[in-house]
Amino acid sequence: MRLLVTGGAGFIGSHIVDAEIDRGNEVAVVDNFSSGKRKNIQREAEIFEADIRDREKIFKIFENWKPTHVSHHAAQASVSVSVQHPQTDAVINIIGTLNILDACANFGVEHLVFASTGGAIYGEVPETSKASEDWTPKPQSPYAAAKATAEMYLEIYNKSYGLSYTTLRYANVYGPKQDPYGEAGVVAIFCERLIKDLPVILYARQKKGDNGCIRDYVFVKDVELVHSMAIRKKFTGTYNVSTGKGTSTLQVLQLISEALDKKPNIDFQGPRPGDLEVSILDNAKISKYFNNWTSFKDGIKETAEWFLFSHK
């Protein structure tokens, strides 16, 4: 396999790059380093500094490097940035994605994996249910709308040009290497702030002082293992990648403070505009292929230790 990973210097992409090199594959990265970092990639990958909006450059890379498989992870990945700048989001996440799809179709790529969002595409999920893949997407943000649009294009490219794909709808991914300085990625933010003895903000679900929103947290190494099967075409179509379990923000904070043995100084705030109250995804479909999910406690422990170590 000659695997090209767009966004390969980012949080999830860099785990894929390192693991696939360890499995003995040729791996190249396309990244504009807007949020990704070179140091995230710890193995010898071929690195192309390029923007997926630059169609000509992307086509040249495909023509010269000749990937057989493509993992498309490059994206404007922030919901709140998409709310502030919907056009920028659309140009990267829709037009940029079309550049990748066109390059795949033009240069005979065998299989493409697309990183979509399960955490945002279904909109608000009633607390007693879990969103499954056959639910009609109800995007509540430009980011989710762009991902849903890209998914529709994938289906069209599959029918029109025979482009083979797997769409992975990730829940809330957490783990080592996640950026702690964004507005999302609460596990990374809490780890960083607790280690530095800084107060942590807990946004309410409904009312200041409550336990916060409920999310379905999935460990990045499990995501990578699911991806490793998807890229080898073990399954095609659209899959949630999630544990199917809901955890409140306060529970996340408690587990991290236990793992780091630090007492948090909590700054309780009201609900953050645009945040979904609850998002839990049904994982029955993917569980036929992968069912060895890391427990949240173990994943948090490994993540907290990584953040501690990276501060030494």
The residues annotated as belonging to the active site are 143
Q: Does 119 bind ligand NAD (CB under 6 A)?
A: yes
Q: Does 36 bind ligand NAD (CB under 6 A)?
A: yes
Give yes or no for a contact between 26 and 65, defined as CB atoms under 8 angstroms apart: no
Q: Does 76 bind ligand NAD (CB under 6 A)?
A: yes
Give yes or no for a contact between 225 and 12, defined as CB atoms under 8 angstroms apart: no
Sole window of 19-27, 33-41, 124-132, 287-295 interacting with ligand NAD (rule: CB under 6 A): 33-41
Residues 155-174 that bind ligand NAD (CB under 6 A): 170, 172-173
Alpha-carbon distance of 64 to 203, in angstroms, equals: 48
The site that binds ligand NAD (CB under 6 A) totals a number of residues, namely 29
Work out the number of other CB atoms within 10 angstroms of the CB of residue 2.
16
Q: Which is nearer to ligand NAD, 96 or 142 (CB)?
A: 96
Q: Does 7 bind ligand NAD (CB under 6 A)?
A: yes
Sole window of 19-27, 47-55, 127-135, 156-164 interacting with ligand NAD (rule: CB under 6 A): 47-55
What does the per-residue mask of binding to ligand NAD show for 230-259, with x meaning CB under 6 A? ------------------------------
Give yes or no for a contact between 280 and 210, defined as CB atoms under 8 angstroms apart: no
**Can you tell me which of 4, 17, 41, 77 binds ligand NAD, judged by CB under 6 A?**
77
Alpha-carbon distance of 90 to 143, in angstroms, equals: 8
Tokens of 61: 């890379």
Strands (E), the chain: 2-6, 26-31, 46-49, 69-72, 111-117, 165-170, 172-174, 200-204, 214-215, 217-219, 237-241, 247-248, 266-271, 278-279
Sequence-distant (6+) residues with CB within 8 A of 8 are 14, 16, 17, 27, 28, 29, 30, 31, 36, 41, 45, 47, 71, 73
What does the per-residue mask of binding to ligand NAD show for 176-195, with x meaning CB under 6 A? ---x----------------
Alpha-carbon distance of 98 to 100, in angstroms, equals: 5
Give yes or no for a contact between 286 and 244, defined as CB atoms under 8 angstroms apart: no
Sole window of 111-119, 260-268, 276-284, 297-305 interacting with ligand NAD (rule: CB under 6 A): 111-119
Sole window of 67-75, 126-134, 283-291, 294-302 interacting with ligand NAD (rule: CB under 6 A): 67-75
**Can you tell me which of 53, 60, 138, 301 binds ligand NAD, judged by CB under 6 A?**
53
Phi and psi, residue 200, nearest 5° = -115, 140
Q: Which is nearer to ligand NAD, 67 or 119 (CB)?
A: 119
Interface ranges with ligand NAD (CB under 6 A): 7, 9-13, 31-36, 51-53, 73-77, 92, 96, 115, 117, 119, 170, 172-173, 179
